[in-house]
Amino acid sequence: MADQKEDWLNRMTATLAVDPEDLIEIAAMFFEGIEERLDNIAEAGHSGDIETMTRLAHGLKGDAANIGFTDISKIARDLEHQGRARAVVNFDEQIDALRAATMTTRESLEF
């Protein structure tokens, strides 16, 4: 697992031109609020508020992509695109996939 964190740190510090300590702090802040963000996306989707679900998925997509969390970003992107098309399918499975990707990313990077 330490190798994954080191690889991520090397890749993203080079890409973003930031110190590793700053990147770790940014990632920690991302994970600090992630459960609430996922709950808000799920709540909006379950209540039929597709516009809010789409906006929240868009924000998560960008935030995850900016710090190299591609698995999270891809799932959030799919939700966003489906929301924009008003054609959301398998919503619960996608929320579960987002939660799983978040847990896997968090654990692999030791946050």
Q: Return the HEC string of 40-101.
A: HHHHHHHCCCHHHHHHHHHHHHHHHHHCCCHHHHHHHHHHHHHHHCCCCCCHHHHHHHHHHH
Measured distance between the N- and C-terminal CA atoms of the chain, rounded to whole angstroms? 11
The model's pTM: 0.92
The structural domain count of the chain equals 1
Distance in angstroms (rounded) separating the CA atoms of residues 78 and 53:
12
Residue pLDDT, tens place only, 31-70: 999 999 999 999 999 999 999 999 999 999 999 999 999 9
Average pLDDT value for the chain: 95
Write out the residue range of the structural domain in which residue 95 sits.
2-108
Q: Say what the pLDDT of residue 110 is.
A: 87
Query: What is the arithmetic mean of pLDDT over 88-110?
Result: 95
Q: For residue 98, what are the contacts with CB-CB under 8 A and spacing of at least 6?
A: 38, 41, 60, 72, 75, 76, 79
Q: What is the CATH number of the domain that holds 29?
A: 1.20.120.160
Q: What is the pLDDT of residue 100?
A: 98
